[in-house]
Structure 1
């Protein structure tokens, strides 16, 4: 057993659930409905409120505020949750909010993420694993982000957007539409600028897979034919290519925002 270590200047409600190996540093505040899983570290000046769970081995840096009420006028104090996964690094001044009663009722953050200074996750978001937010990356409510997504510094994402796995949102982008898996978007307002080739190579995708993705991208966003026809062609030509079919399924899935498309200029 490795009992929690709590700095004498910290304020921790006796009802908070603290697991083995938790470290709570100077001037932190932990509320009564907070659960800190094994080996969570709150370095200093961290505040955790609401019904918030922080997963194993997550490290939270100074002045982060986790679990405070959503910035949504429809929120009326409902008992909603913030669930943060394992092994995340949460840097200074990060904010993450719980869900709302009119939404999913929870915000869920995956494992192994890196959330840099000042980044923000709003209410009712679902965040995948191994996600990176650069400084001041910001999400509106209800955003869904797949695994391995990278959000550039000062990028802002509109409510209800979906961002597919392994995609990249460039720094300063203002994103109002959905981003296909493996895509790269940039600009204000953000437009699809191709595939996230750097990310694909870094994560070990084969040359053949990247070749297939590039061919499918050119087909899907060509000028000839209708979008519906091009999707049907992609389904026929790349039926045995799971990465391509992930893009096709994403495009065909239910969405509340339009799809982010290439610039036609």
Structure 2
């Protein structure tokens, strides 16, 4: 990384020796950048942003005022070990967000992918994984070890319990409390959140009509209640071993550790 143009760094910003700042990076007033931080080309930090710890940002990220990235985990088991926060490219991280690195009890790193939007006051705890094109609305909170796929939407004021997994294209309604795993392309709502249907708005952006119909029928069979869910899932895998949607959805359910919050008949429409 090259030394940035000093004109693009406010005089009041504090950049510790050892920090690596890319080209065309803007850093606003009263920002604090730690010695082990890397900021990729084309990124912009508004005023009063704090980035410390072993934190790496990719290119073209935009960080808004009072966001705090890389402070030690809010985990009493953390004992000063070397841990990381890794953030990809083209993310929008809005005001007052807080994102912590990992712990040795997890991945030792928190990972955020590309082109995600974290709205104001979002908290991402230690050892979380957020993939790409996700939206976390205001005050969404991820407990430690949460994993999210691509194109996931989390509504405002929604807490997600530790170790929960959320599959690609899923949506969790605002004001919910999620304590179990949500398979790909499902919508969940409530306290405690349960699956209410499929996220067909997102599916229409990603799939053909034929694929949407196939996935809808697959879920109806899996959630029919005609046998234990894991038996139905295994049957689908045995009968359709090469189908990408069967593999993605059924393996997600089989690998779930926290269970799937489904009510019989929810997908019978």
Answer yes or no: is the 8 Å Cα contact 1:63–1:92 preserved in 2: yes
Q: Which residue matches 2:226?
A: 224
Counterparts of residues 120-139 of structure 1 (less than 5 Å): 120-139=123-142
TM-score, normalised to structure 1, is 0.95
Distance 1:35 1:133 in 2: 24
Aligned residues: 263
Q: Which residue matches 1:106?
A: 109
Residues 100-129 of structure 1: per-residue CA shift (max 9 Å, x gap):
122211000000101101111100011101
TM-score, normalised to structure 2, is 0.93
Counterparts of residues 236-251 of structure 1 (less than 5 Å): 236-251=238-253
User: Alpha-carbon deviation of 1:2?
Assistant: 7.9
Answer yes or no: is the 8 Å Cα contact 1:31–1:48 preserved in 2: yes
Distance 2:261 2:200 in 1: 18
1:25 aligns with 2:28: yes
Distance 2:231 2:106 in 1: 35
Answer yes or no: is the 8 Å Cα contact 1:191–1:263 preserved in 2: no
Q: Which residue matches 1:256?
A: 257
Distance 1:188 1:238 in 2: 35
1:77 aligns with 2:80: yes
Q: Which residue matches 1:214?
A: 216
User: Alpha-carbon deviation of 1:243?
Assistant: 1.8
SS in 1 for 2:247: helix
Q: Structure 1 204/165 Cα, relative in aligned 2: closer, same or farther at 3 Å?
A: closer
Q: Structure 1 226/102 Cα, relative in aligned 2: closer, same or farther at 3 Å?
A: closer
Q: Which segment drifts farther, 164-173 or 224-233? A: 224-233
Residues 169-228 of structure 1: per-residue CA shift (max 9 Å, x gap):
110110000110111110000001111111111x23111111011101110011212223
Specify every segment of 5 or more residues in structure 1 that has no aligned partner in the other structure, as ranges.
Answer: none
Specify every segment of 5 or more residues in structure 2 that has no aligned partner in the other structure, as ranges.
Answer: none
Distance 1:164 1:90 in 2: 22
Distance 2:129 2:44 in 1: 23
User: Alpha-carbon deviation of 1:237?
Assistant: 4.8
Distance 1:232 1:69 in 2: 41
Distance 2:230 2:103 in 1: 36
1:190 aligns with 2:179: no
Q: Which residue matches 1:162?
A: 165
Distance 2:159 2:103 in 1: 21
Q: Which residue matches 1:140?
A: 143
CA RMSD of aligned residues (A): 1.6
Distance 2:40 2:257 in 1: 35
Answer yes or no: is the 8 Å Cα contact 1:212–1:244 preserved in 2: no
